[in-house]
Structure formats: structure tokens, C-alpha cells
Amino acid sequence: MHEYVLKKMMVDFELVTNYIVERLREYLEFSAKKGGVVGVSGGIDSAVTAALLARATNNYFFLIMPSSTTPKKDIDDALGLIKMLGAEDKYAYIDIDEIVNNIASQVKTNDHYVIGNIKARVRMVLLYGYAQKLGYLVIGTGDKSELLLGYFTKYGDGGVDVLPIGDLYKTQVRMLGRYLGLPEDIVTKPSSPALWEGQTAEGEIGVDYDTIDSILYLRFDEMRTPEEVANFLGINIDIVRKIENMVRFSQHKRLAPEIFRLSGRAINSDWRYPRQWG
């Protein structure tokens, strides 16, 4: 990562931790919910989110939801985190393969992209099932890098009630994880949704996170032009354009569904009102 950007990424992680923990408490109280549910994958984002939630309240529950493409290392790390947080009686382990295969058979597809998104959405359904049963909220694990890139499944891991680490870049989440004392294996593990075998975030995107976060910070926090970002980082402008386009074309994922307004002056003079509204 560029030294300038890395310096900007360095924040007071004690202050950040205290703020997020307090905001979680306030949000749960404001929502009149008893606690929160987190899907724990063995990755850095879910580990940090789980650790913060455990600091905010004793009312938490974790779900480990592996499939056949989930690396054993991820499962072991998720179980290790559960033990570290003292949550052995506050989690459930659910293999999602049977549910996913049943849905995929109904859709009649073997496409691993489609099936991967089905996996993410099955996990969302299970999280909300447990949340409703317990009177909890679903606590999301997305970070700022993933949210900006649109690197999440709409109504899958993007289907949550609140995003505590959503304003921290992946680089900062790793720093926060280290501050929280999480295992180094989790802190440094390459990011991957593991929706199909061999999938990694950096491999799929084609750019490493050091570069991604540098581009995102300079382009959208400091509002530099693509040309300025490329020159500053000493990289090909096509890489900057690629990241910029990922942000632009995933905007629909970050917004509530668009409503095509028909009332009042929202319809211009070229439109004709139907004589009868069905």
C-alpha cells in the first residue's frame, strides 16, 4: 500500500472500538431488539464484527454455515473464534449444502456464480430466521471496500440490519482485528466468500486489496481524478477505471429499490396518463 494512504488509514483503534460498541448498544436499544446475530465465516470481517458485538452485549448468537466449498481452515478458524469469545453455548453450526442443492435443482442450474449467490441468500434467510426467533437484529459484516466495490451478494450477505464496520476499509479492518487481539491467521488470511472452490476476492477482482484501498481512498475520500490517482500511485489508469466502474455499476446494490414515481410532476409532458388505473 502507498505510504501516504497507509498513514491516512491509521486511526485511533481504541476510539473506533469504543464508538462502534456504543453505537451497537444504542442501535439495539433504538430498534427495541434484545441482541444481535452474526454469521461467522472464519474471515477477518465477521471475526471483527463478532468481537465487537460480544463487547456491546451479552445477547449475541453466531451462526457457522459452511458448504462443500468452505475450506476446513475457515471452519476451524470460525470455531476457534467462538471458543476465544467464550461463545460455545451461543452458536449453531448448519451445513447449507442440502438447502442450496434443493434450490439449485428447482432453478435447474449448475452455474457456480448462480449457486454461489444462492448460498449467500440461504445464509441470509437462516440469519433472519434465528434473529426473529431470538428477537435480535442481523448484524452485517461488510466493510467499506466491499460495499463500495459491490463485492457482496444483493439480499445475501448484503441483506442485514446494520453494518458496524461499513465505514472501515479492508486494510483498517485488519488493523482493528489486530488491535482486538484476534488470531493472526484470521487477520492476515486472504479475503474470500468461498462461494466456489478456489475463490478469493483479489483473484476474482484481479487487483490486490492494498491497491484497491489506495484507489478507493484517493478517488472517493479525497475526490482526486482517475488520472491523479493513477499518477500518484504509479499504476496504469485502466486499473483505476476498473475499480471506479465497479463502484459505479454496483450503485443499485447500495440503494433501496428504485421506485418509478408516477404521481404529480414526476411524469413529464411526453407521458400520457392511462384512462384507467388497474
Tell me the pLDDT tens digit for each residue of 215-256: 999 999 999 999 999 999 999 999 999 999 999 999 999 999
pLDDT digits (tens, 9 = 90+) for 87-135: 999 999 999 999 999 999 999 999 999 999 999 999 999 999 999 999 9
Are 150 and 249 in contact, with CB atoms under 8 Å apart?
Answer: yes
Please say whether the dihedral angle defined by the alpha carbons of residues 11, 13, 18 and 20, taken in this order, is positive or negative: positive
Q: pLDDT category, 277, cuts 50, 70, 90? A: very low
Q: What is the CATH number of the domain that holds 124?
A: 3.40.50.620
- pLDDT at residue 192, as a whole number: 82
Please say whether the dihedral angle defined by the alpha carbons of residues 198, 199, 201 and 206, taken in this order, is positive or negative: positive
Are 201 and 192 in contact, with CB atoms under 8 Å apart?
Answer: yes
Residue at 65 is within a domain:
yes
User: How many angstroms separate the CA atoms of 258 and 265, rounded?
Assistant: 17
The cell 444462492 sits on which residue? 118
Are 137 and 37 in contact, with CB atoms under 8 Å apart?
Answer: yes
- pLDDT at residue 86, as a whole number: 98
Residue at 245 is within a domain:
no
- pLDDT at residue 46, as a whole number: 98
The cell 476476492 sits on which residue? 201
What phi, psi does 252 have (nearest 5°)? Answer: -60, -25
Q: Is 62 helix (H, G, I), strand (E, B) or coil?
A: strand
The pTM (predicted TM-score) of the whole model is: 0.93
Beta-strand pair 60-64/91-93 = parallel
Residue at 256 is within a domain:
no
Residue at 45 is within a domain:
yes
Q: Which helix (H) or strand (E) holds 224?
A: none
Q: Is 261 helix (H, G, I), strand (E, B) or coil?
A: coil
Q: Give the chain's domain count.
A: 1
Q: Which helix (H) or strand (E) holds 20?
A: helix 13-30
Residue at 17 is within a domain:
yes
pLDDT digits (tens, 9 = 90+) for 174-213: 999 999 999 999 999 988 888 888 888 889 999 999 999 9
Residue at 84 is within a domain:
yes
163-183 burial string, b = 16+ CB within 10 Å, else e?
bbbbebbbbbbbbbbbeeebe
**pLDDT reading at 266 higher than 60:** no
Residue at 162 is within a domain:
yes
User: How many angstroms separate the CA atoms of 47 and 210, rounded?
Assistant: 20
- Expressed as residue numbers, the domain containing 184 is 12-194
User: How many angstroms separate the CA atoms of 185 and 88, rounded?
Assistant: 20
Residue at 82 is within a domain:
yes
